Amino acid sequence: MDPDVVAKEMRRARNVNGQKLFTSSEFLSAQQVSSFFSRLAAKIHHNLASEEDIRAAEEEENFSSARDSVLSFVDLQHPVVYSTYDVCTLVKEDKLKKLKVNTLREICEALNLEVPSEPIKRKAPYTDLIEDSVKRCTCIGGPPS
């Protein structure tokens, strides 16, 4: 996985009860994630990693794959949240336009929306994608989950 994606996922990760899995003091930067996996790969390469470390790395990879598969089939659940933003509320109160373009793009990517490969410098394409996606949420009037 991309270290930037892993670092962002740590900030959004929630358990089945909707509680955050990590506290802000436990968040890692992309560099820390990259370093961790580099050290783990080196240990595996030198046969210094314990059987438990190898199983944990494989389990994490399996979890990540399963999570991605499930998210691709599941509709959005209320509230739609990215980082510290309640996206549902931002859409309801028409406040998406107050966010920076980069933040809007990150929200789109986090919601697995199809964003152009080249960043756009305008907010409208991103806000339109987010609004269309969040319309499926029960708080906006979408189907019940």
> Of 20, 52, 73, which residue is a domain's last?
73
> Of 43, 73, 103, which residue is a domain's last?
73
Please report whether residue 41 resides in a domain. yes
| Prediction pTM value | 0.44
- 93/140 Cα distance (integer angstroms): 11
* 9-55: pLDDT as tens digits: 888 888 878 888 888 788 888 888 888 888 777 776 666 556 777 78
Domain assignment of residue 63, given as a range: 3-73
What φ, ψ does residue 89 adopt, rounded to 5°?
Answer: -65, -40
Nearest by Cα to 83 from 11, 7, 9, 10: 11
